[in-house]
Structure 1
Amino acid sequence: MPVPVSSRLHARYSPRALAATLAWLRVCAVVGQLATVLGVAHLLELPIAEGALLAGITALAAFDAAVWWRLRQRWPVGETEVVAHLAVDTGVLCYLLYLTGGATNPFVSLYIVPIALAAMALSPRHLAASVGIACLAYFIVLIRHEPLPDIASHAAHGGQVFAARDFNLHVLGMAVNFAISAVLLGFFIWRLARDLRRRETLAQRERERALRDEGILAIATQAAGAAHELNTPLSTIRTLVGELRREHPADTPLGEDLALLAGQADRCRDILRELVQVGSAQLTEQAQVQTLPAFIADCAERFRLLRPAVNLDITLADEAHLAPLRIVSALRHAILNLLNNAADASELSASAKVEFAANCTATDVVIEVRDHGPGLPQAVREAAGMRFVSAKRDGLGLGLALTNATIERFHGSLRADAAMGGGTLTRLTLPLSALRAQAQ
C-alpha cells in the first residue's frame, strides 16, 4: 500500500528532525557568539567578561558535539529530550545575556526562535514547557544581570577605535538582532510554506487516488454482477444453437452461421471463466515465478495473439535481471493495457509500430512502451491513470487507471512523456524489493 501523506510528512516535523535543526542552529550560534565576543572585546575594546563568555560558548559547543553523536544513534528521540535540548540552549543564552546587560541586551529576543521551532514539532504540553523555560529565563535576566558598558562613554575616555560620539551599542545590537531574526524567521517560514504546499499537492493526489479506486471498485462490482448474469443467457444461446443444428442439418449456410455463433458463445464463456480465475488468483495472491526476460516474452506473445497486425519492436537490455520474480496476473494485464493503448495511438498516425523495452537497475525494473501516434494531450499525461480520462474518441480511460492502480500495489510509478520524434513514451518503474518480497 502507498505510504499515507501524514506518514510521509511526519518525519519533517518529528522530534528527531527538530533536534537536528537545533543542532545546526547551535553551530551557527556558536560561530556568531564567538565572533561577537571577540569583536566587542578586541575591535571595540569594551570591558566585558571575555573569559566567562568564552567559557559559556565552549560549553555550548561541547553540548552540540554530544547532540550530534546522540543523533547518530538509533535510539528514538522523544519530545522530552528535545525540550531538554531547548532548556540547555536557553540556559546558555541566559548565562551569556546575564554577563552582557540582561534584558537590555538587544539579543534577548532570540528567546523567540526556539519557541517558533518547537511549535512546529512538539505537543501542546511540551510546547508549554518550552515557553515556560523561555519566560523564566527572560525574567531572570530582567531582574539580575551585569550592566552593559556604554560605547559612547567609553569612547570619550579614548578606549574606542572608530566609534562616533553619538554611536550607541544598543542600536547596533538591535540592527544585528533584526538581521538575524529576519534571516531565521524568513528561512523557516519559507520552509514551512513549502512543506504545506507539498502537503496540499500530496493530499490532492491521495484524493484523486481514492476516487479512482472507488471508481475501479464500482466497475469491478458491476463486472462481477454482469459476469454472473451473462452465464444464463450464454447457456441458453448454446442450447438453441444446438437445437437449430439438429432441426436444419442440410442447410449449409445456416450451419456455418450457427457454427460461428456457437464459437462466439464459447469465447464469451471462456472470457467469463478467465475473469473468475483472475479474481480468484488475485484474492489468493497466486502468481507465476518468471525471470524478467521470460516475463517480457510472455507479454509479447500474448499481445501478438491479440494484435497480430502490430509490429512489436522488443528491446531487452543486457542488464536485465535473471533472478526469479513472482509476477501476478494483474501485472501482466497492466503491461498488455499499455501495449494496446500504444497500438491504438500508433494507428491514429497510420503506423503499426510499437516499441517495447525493459531494463533492470540495481533497485528497479524499468519497462517502457512507446507509440508513434500523435501524442497525448498534456492533461492526459499529467493524469497518468489517476482519473478516467482518455485521448481516444471512444476511450473510457479505464485501462490506464487499472494499470496505475496495479503498479501502485507494488509501490511502483507510471509516467507518460512526449517522446523524441513524436509519440508518447510510457515508463513503468517497479522496485525489485517488492517483487523479491513477493517471491519470498
Structure 2
Amino acid sequence: MSDNLHSPSSRSGPFALARTLAWLRLCAIAGQSVAILSCVTLLNLDVPLLPLMIGVCVLAVFAAGASFRLGMPWKVTEGEAIVHIAADTLLLGYLLYFTGGASNPFVTLLLVPIALSAAALSIAGVSLVAILTGVAYVLLVPYHLPLPTLGNSSLDLDLYVAGMGVNFVIMAILLGVFISNLAKAIRHQQGEVQRVRERALRDEGILAIATQAAGAAHELNTPLSTMRTLLPEIRREHAADNELGDDLDLLQGQVERCRTILREMVAFGQAQLSQVPERITLGEFIHGCMERFQLLRPEAEVALDVSDDAARLRLRSPPGLRHALINLLNNAADASALNDSATVSLAIRRDDRWLELIVTDEGPGFDEFDELGTLGLSQKATGLGIGLALAEATAERLEGELAASNTGHGAQMRLRLPLSVIGDSV
C-alpha cells in the first residue's frame, strides 16, 4: 500500500483533527444560520444580515471543499491542518467583526482550535494556532462593529448573559465530545503501534528460528548421505540376520523420509524467495495437505468437510499456507490426544470474498486466548511451541486472520483468508 494513503495509523493526529474540524463546520453553519435568523426575526436586532450570510455561505463552500479533500488518498499533513484552522479562524473573526468583536459572548469560540490542536498537533503546531487565534482576538478588540442592542440596558444585560450561557453549553459539548474522540483516535494509534511492535518481535523470533532451521538442514544433509551410503553395506554384511534386516529397512525408510523433508524445505525456501505462488484447485491443495499430515500423524482420524463447489475453487496458494494448515491440524491432533481421542475435523467454508479453513479438536480447549500465537508459551509437553505463531504470521501476511474459540467439546481454529489475495483469477 502506498505511503500516501490513509492507513489506520494516519487516521489520528492531523487527519483526525481535520475530520473533527469538518464536523465542527457543519455544526457551525447550522448554529450560525439559526443564530442570525433568530436575531433578525425574533429579537429584531439590527444586525448586518447580508455580510453575515455571505460569511456563512463562504464557510459552507469551504466546508464542502475540505470534506471533498478528506476523501482524497493524500495524507493530511500538520501544515494542511493548520491551514484549515486558519481559514476557520478567519471566517469566525469575520462574523465576530460584524457582531461586536471581542465584546461578543461567543468570542471564546476562538479557544476551540487551540484545544483541538493540543490533542493532535506538535508543540510547534499548537503554538502557531495559538498565535493565529491570539492575533484574531487582539484585532477584534479595536476593529469591530458595535453589537446591536434592544434599547433597554436591563434587557441587553439579560441577552448578554443568555448568550454567555449558550456559549458555555456549546464550549462544554465541543470540548467534551470532540476532544474525547481525538483522544480515542490517539489511543487507537498507540494500540496499533504496540501491536506492530509485538508482531515485529514475533517475526524476529520466527526469522531466527528459520535461520537456524536453514543451517540445520544444510548440516544434516551430510550425515544423512553418510547413513544412506552405509546402510546398504551393513545390510550386505548381515544378510542372514532377518531381525536386523527389518530394523535396517525401518532405518532406511526414516533416512529417506528425512531427506524428503529436507528437499521440501529447500523447495519451500526457493518458492518463498521467488514469490511465485502455486496455482492449484482447493481440492488438490487439501488433498496434498491431508497426505502430508497422514504421513506425520498416521494415528489421527481427520473428518473432512468440503463441498464440491469449494473444491473447484482455484487458488494462488502461497508456499506458507500449506505449512500453516498442517501446523493447525498437528496442534489439533495433540489437543485431542490429551482427551484420549484421535479425531480432528477440517471444514472448508467460502463465500464471495472469504475462504475459511476451520480446524476443530476434541481436546480440553483454551484457558486463555491472549497468548495465541506467542512464541514459547505452548502448554504442550511436546513440540516447539511455535505452530500457532507461524500460522498467525501466515494469516497476517495474507491479509487474513486466525481466530480461536472453545466449542464446549474442544477448541476451534478459524483461518480466514481473503479470496482477493489467494484466489486465482486467471
TM-score (norm 2): 0.86
Structure 1 residues 171-201: Cα deviation after superposition (integer angstroms, max 9, x where no partner): 3222222221221122232122222322232
Name the residue aligned to 2:299: 309
- Do structure 1's residue 197 and structure 2's residue 187 form an aligned pair? yes
- Do structure 1's residue 356 and structure 2's residue 346 form an aligned pair? yes
CA distance in structure 2 between the partners assigned to 1:48 and 1:107 by the alignment: 15
CA distance change for structure 1 residues 259 and 292 in 2, over 3 Å: closer, same or farther? closer
Name the residue aligned to 1:416: 404
Structure 1 residues 216-254: Cα deviation after superposition (integer angstroms, max 9, x where no partner): 122122222222222333333344433333333322222
CA distance in structure 1 between the partners assigned to 2:395 and 2:36 by the alignment: 59
Q: Following TM superposition, by how much is the alpha carbon of 1:55 offset from its aligned partner in structure 2, in angstroms?
A: 3.9
Name the residue aligned to 2:265: 275
Q: Following TM superposition, by how much is the alpha carbon of 1:311 offset from its aligned partner in structure 2, in angstroms?
A: 2.8
* Amino acid in structure 1 at the alignment position of 2:254: Q
Name the residue aligned to 2:233: 243
CA distance change for structure 1 residues 433 and 14 in 2, over 3 Å: closer, same or farther? farther
Name the residue aligned to 1:298: 288
CA distance in structure 2 between the partners assigned to 1:146 and 1:235 by the alignment: 97
Aligned residue pairs total 426
CA distance in structure 1 between the partners assigned to 2:77 and 2:184 by the alignment: 25
- Do structure 1's residue 397 and structure 2's residue 375 form an aligned pair? no
CA distance in structure 2 between the partners assigned to 1:91 and 1:3 by the alignment: 32
Name the residue aligned to 1:432: 419
1:290–1:327 contact (8 Å) kept in structure 2? yes
Name the residue aligned to 2:370: 382
CA distance change for structure 1 residues 201 and 407 in 2, over 3 Å: closer, same or farther? same
Secondary structure of 1:383's partner?
coil
* Amino acid in structure 2 at the alignment position of 1:137: A
Moved more, 47-56 or 261-270: 47-56
Give the fraction of aligned pairs with identical amino acids, expressed as a percent.
49
CA distance change for structure 1 residues 103 and 256 in 2, over 3 Å: closer, same or farther? same
Secondary structure of 1:374's partner?
coil
CA distance in structure 1 between the partners assigned to 2:93 and 2:412 by the alignment: 61
* Amino acid in structure 2 at the alignment position of 1:8: P
Q: 1:329 aligns with which of 319, 322, 329?
A: 319
1:311–1:354 contact (8 Å) kept in structure 2? yes
Root-mean-square deviation (CA, aligned residues, Å) is 3.3
CA distance in structure 2 between the partners assigned to 1:175 and 1:318 by the alignment: 69
* Amino acid in structure 1 at the alignment position of 2:10: H
Name the residue aligned to 2:63: 64
Name the residue aligned to 1:110: 109
CA distance in structure 2 between the partners assigned to 1:57 and 1:434 by the alignment: 48
Unaligned runs of 5+ in 2: none
* Amino acid in structure 2 at the alignment position of 1:139: V
1:355–1:369 contact (8 Å) kept in structure 2? yes
Secondary structure of 1:168's partner?
helix
Name the residue aligned to 2:8: 8
Secondary structure of 1:143's partner?
coil
Q: Following TM superposition, by how much is the alpha carbon of 1:368 offset from its aligned partner in structure 2, in angstroms?
A: 1.0
Secondary structure of 1:382's partner?
coil
Moved more, 82-91 or 252-261: 82-91
Secondary structure of 2:108's partner?
helix
Q: Following TM superposition, by how much is the alpha carbon of 1:284 offset from its aligned partner in structure 2, in angstroms?
A: 2.0
CA distance change for structure 1 residues 66 and 46 in 2, over 3 Å: closer, same or farther? same
1:412–1:429 contact (8 Å) kept in structure 2? yes
Name the residue aligned to 1:89: 88
Q: Following TM superposition, by how much is the alpha carbon of 1:126 offset from its aligned partner in structure 2, in angstroms?
A: 6.7
Structure 1 residues 142-180: Cα deviation after superposition (integer angstroms, max 9, x where no partner): 1122233556x6166xxx6xx9xxx53333222222221
Q: Following TM superposition, by how much is the alpha carbon of 1:121 offset from its aligned partner in structure 2, in angstroms?
A: 5.9
2:13–2:186 contact (8 Å) kept in structure 1? no
Moved more, 105-114 or 240-249: 240-249
Moved more, 135-144 or 18-27: 18-27
Q: Following TM superposition, by how much is the alpha carbon of 1:206 offset from its aligned partner in structure 2, in angstroms?
A: 1.7
* Amino acid in structure 1 at the alignment position of 2:90: G
Name the residue aligned to 1:28: 27
CA distance in structure 1 between the partners assigned to 2:396 and 2:311 by the alignment: 21
CA distance in structure 1 between the partners assigned to 2:184 and 2:167 by the alignment: 25
2:228–2:255 contact (8 Å) kept in structure 1? yes
TM-score (norm 1): 0.84
Q: Following TM superposition, by how much is the alpha carbon of 1:414 offset from its aligned partner in structure 2, in angstroms?
A: 0.8
Q: Following TM superposition, by how much is the alpha carbon of 1:283 offset from its aligned partner in structure 2, in angstroms?
A: 1.7
Q: Following TM superposition, by how much is the alpha carbon of 1:317 offset from its aligned partner in structure 2, in angstroms?
A: 4.4
1:348–1:373 contact (8 Å) kept in structure 2? yes
* Amino acid in structure 2 at the alignment position of 1:134: T
Q: Following TM superposition, by how much is the alpha carbon of 1:356 offset from its aligned partner in structure 2, in angstroms?
A: 0.9
